[in-house]
Each structure stands twice: as structure tokens, then as C-alpha cells.
Homo-oligomer: A and B are copies of this chain.
Amino acid sequence: MQPPLKIALAGLGTVGAGVAQLITQNKDIITRRAGREIQITAVSARDKNKNRGVDLSSYRWMDDLSAMASDDDVDVVVELIGGSDGPALTLARESLSHGKNFVTANKAMVAHHGDELATKAEKNGLAIKYEAAVAGGIPVIKGLRDGASANRIERVYGILNGTCNFILSAMEKDGRDFAEVLADAQANGYAEADPSFDIGGVDAAHKLSILASLCFGTKVDFGAVSIGGIEQIKAADIEQAAAMGYRIRLLGLAEIDGDNGGSALFQRVHPYLVRKTHPLAHVTGPTNAVVAEGDFSGRLLFQGAGAGDKPTASAVVADIIDIARGETGPMFGMEQKHLEQLPKAESGHRMGKVYLRFIAADRPGVLAEITAATRDAGLSIESLIQQEANADGTALVSMVTHDGPESAVAETLRLLSGSENLINDPMVMHILR
């Protein structure tokens, strides 16, 4: 058997502690699968004395991350610090410079600096692995990078943020409004004290930009993701969507757009209406799910726990085992020079159905104004529901359109902007085709 693979853990939060626990607890099966022992030879975190529920006293403690990156007794540096820049990024750069393979769970860093890090790893003949950065414990990076590698992927989309899905399915189940469910989720540890990255869609966008690169052979382009969140969704939206046969999910969706002359990369995180017959409509709670549509594979679905210390540790250690086995190809499935840099796709010419919801004053002429605007914008209505007015004198009008270009939706909103009949901005959600 080969000599042990020596790893250093930087960051000992719940995931870091989970990784240490997993390596210890499943030592026998991990050694058999890796073909060699996985040995933790150094650990580091901000606070040496914090109780982490795992005994780390036998590991060598390092206060200096730069020293860790160049330590002779380390083959693989495992970064579980987080943050797109700062110490995590410095550690990545220094580890790769000093000939260490690198494993990370850091979606923000990969989304922002994947190109730089992949180039550096490639130049130095090193592996950089990030299974845990997308969809927690689900092996979707390996599934797409290795499992779907023969395919031209036509579209990739999924539920990439467990907090949002937890909130949406709780709203669905109990008919409660967003703010109330969020407060509950925070109280129960399903949402962060500052949940803006989750509910605003940024976290899902980080992951989407990584998936898009893997699926399409393009450079990671986080800056080109259109991002929307779930803050504006009301219990009434969920109810209306259900009445029309849909459920609401925050999806990240990416595809290559060849319709507008030349190829462009379309990436969007936004709440979508998903038909109840679609598998994603049945994904509830903090679960994640990713769908990739390959030209030969057809529709592939990967589903599982999107977060949590144990599932994330499972993904991190799988990456370490890959390295132990010598399975260490290019970060995004091909050499960096083969990745294309595509422009951001415009959305105006995209065809689709949308859900539009207005909160309007309950007075004559409101429906006439809305329907005149859709007519003038060339947007055709498939179904429309106006609810009985609320006690506060407002009424909710929701509609689903026929297939039409997104430019017509934008034009409808433009025509209605400044309308005295409308309270708040209208809510637009796309319908997954």
C-alpha cells in the first residue's frame, strides 16, 4: 500500500469538525477505498480553545496559514474557512504555489476566482477539488464532470439553496407569509442571522456559475448571472400558482443561447413556477436537486442534502479520496485554455410563459389598465385570477401568459410603471418549461 496521504484542515467550524469526525469514524472503509490511509497532520482555526464536539487535541495545531501552505508534512490543504477573498484565497494561492493539492467547500471563492486557481493548479500539475461547493453532499460535480462528460449539455438547472427551499416549502405547507417563516427558520437554525446571500439568490448564483462552467465548457462567469431572490413571494402567490398546477421554487438555470446570432451564456437565479408533475416540484425542505439535460443522456437528476456538516464533510472527503487515488484531472473538466469565454446572453428574445402578479387598488378600471398594457406590449394571457379585495382595499391580480418574448413582459411592466392603480412593483416569475 502507498504511504498515507497527509492533509491539513484549515477552518474548524461545523464542516471542519465534521471532516475530522468522518475521517476518524470511517477510517477503515476510507483507507480501503483510497488505497492508502488519509492522515490529518495539521489543523488550524481562529480559536484554538473552542469546544467543537470532536477531539482535535491529537492534531498538530498551526496558527500560521502560510506555514501550513508550505509545510513539508502536508500533501493536501483542505480549506473550510469560507469567504470569496481574504485568508481563504491567500491560502489557496499559497498552497498551489507550494505544490499542495487543494480541496475546498468555498463556492464564493470558486465562483469569483475559479479561473485563476484552476490555471495555477494546472500549471503546477496539482488538483483543486470543490465537490462540497455545490449542493452539499450530492456528488453533482463528479456527476457532471465525469458522468455526463460525453454530452453537450443543453440546460442545467436546480434547487441550489436549501434555506430558500425550506422557506418556500414551509410557506406552501402552512400558507404562511415569507417574513414569518423566515423568522421561524432563523430561530431553528435553517437560516442565518443575516440571510441575504441565501434569500437574495447570491449563494445559488455562486453555485450556478460553477455548474455552468462544467456543463458548457465555459469559463466561470459569476458576474454574468442575473440574480433574483424570494423576498417578494407572498402566500397568495403560492396559492395562485397551486391553483394553476404549479409550485414555486428558487431555481438557478443556465443554458447556451444560440438564438440571437452567435453563442452566449444565459445564467439566471430567480423564483420559477414548476409544474406539479416535474420532479423538482416534489423537492421539499432543505434538500437540493440539480437537473442536467444532455443531448445523449437525456434528463439527469441528482438530489440530496444541500448543506449540513455531515453531507458537506462527505463531499470534502470524497475529493480527498479522489486525490489519494490519483484521480486528479482539470478543475472544470478540461484544460483552462479549452474553456470558452462567452458573452452574457440577453434575455429579451427568450420565449416563455411568465406568472405576473399585481397588487392593485380595488377600484373600477384596474383590470382594464393591466390588460390594455399586456395587449399593447403584445403579451397574450392564458389565465387570470382576481381575488376578492382584502380588508385594506387592495386586490391581488395574478396571471399566467402564453409563450412570448421576455421583452414583451418588460414592456408590460414599463407601460404600467407609475400607474396609480398599482401598489408595489409587480412580481414576475418565469415558468420552467
Residues of A at the B interface (CB closer than 8 Å) are 18, 22, 25-26, 29-30, 32-35, 131, 137-139, 142-143, 146-152, 217, 279, 282, 294-305, 308, 310-311, 313-315, 317-318, 320-322, 325-327, 329-330, 333-335, 338
Contact = CB atoms under 8 A, between A and B. Distances in A.
B318 A146 contact: yes
Nearest to A312: B296
Contacts of A151: 26, 29, 314
B297 A311 contact: yes
A313 B150 contact: yes
B322 A146 contact: yes
A32 B338 contact: yes
Contact of A32 (B303, B310, B334): B334
Total copies of the chain: 2
Given A137-B297, A329-B35, A329-B325, A217 B150 contact: no
Nearest to A278: B282
Nearest to A303: B301
Interface centre among A32, A296, A297 (most CB of B within 10 A): A296
Nearest to A300: B304
A139 B150 contact: no
A115 B44 CA distance: 43
Contacts of A148: 139, 314, 318
Contact of A142 (B147, B150, B217): B147
A12 B131 CA distance: 36
A149 B315 CA distance: 9
A272 to B, nearest CB: 18
A29 B153 CA distance: 10
A29 B314 CA distance: 30
B304 A33 contact: no
Contact of A146 (B25, B142, B152, B295): B142
Contact of A296 (B137, B297, B335): B137
Contact of A299 (B142, B282, B304, B322): B304
A35 B147 contact: no
Nearest to A304: B300
Given A22-B150, A152-B26, A297-B305, A217 B143 contact: no
21 contacts: A22-B150, A26-B150, A26-B296, A30-B150, A32-B338, A33-B333, A131-B147, A138-B300, A139-B143, A143-B143, A146-B321, A149-B317, A149-B322, A150-B313, A151-B314, A296-B314, A296-B317, A297-B304, A301-B301, A326-B326, A326-B329
A41 to B, nearest CB: 18
Given A139-B148, A143-B139, A318-B150, A22 B296 contact: yes
B282 A217 contact: no
B150 A335 contact: no
A133 B137 CA distance: 25
A154 B151 CA distance: 32
Contacts of A299: 304-305
B303 A298 contact: no
Nearest to A321: B149
A298 B320 CA distance: 19
A296 B282 contact: no
A131 B305 CA distance: 24
A297 B279 contact: no
Given A143-B142, A318-B146, A311 B298 contact: yes
